[in-house]
Amino acid sequence: MRQDENWTKVSIHAAKFGLLSYITPFLIYNSILQLDPEEFGGHAELLNEGQMPALGAFFSSWIH
């Protein structure tokens, strides 16, 4: 496999991770929990709360 093909795969998987890590919590707190984001500092605060643990889990699974 060529080097540029490998980076393309990595980019695609990183983009999927990014989308899922923002869309999933948004759907959970907006649809299921029906939270008012303004009580917790807005949408950005709620979405960013779990980003570092999610990124750590992503890198841990990637290294494995």
Check residue 45 and give its pLDDT: 84
In this predicted structure, the answer to whether residue 60 has a pLDDT above a threshold of 80 is: yes
Give the C-alpha distances (Å, rounded to integers) separating 52 from 6, 18, 59.
25, 12, 11
Those residues whose C-beta lies under 8 Å from the C-beta of residue 49, and which sit 6 or more positions away, are 25
Average pLDDT, the chain: 81
Q: Quick one: average pLDDT of 20-48?
A: 84
Q: Could you give phi then psi for residue 43, rounded to 5 degrees? A: -65, -40
* Inter-residue contact 31 to 64 (CB < 8 Å): no
27-39 pLDDT per residue, tens: 888 888 888 888 8
Identity of residue 6: N
Residue 3 confidence (pLDDT) above 70: no
Look at residue 4 and tell me whether its pLDDT is greater than 70: no
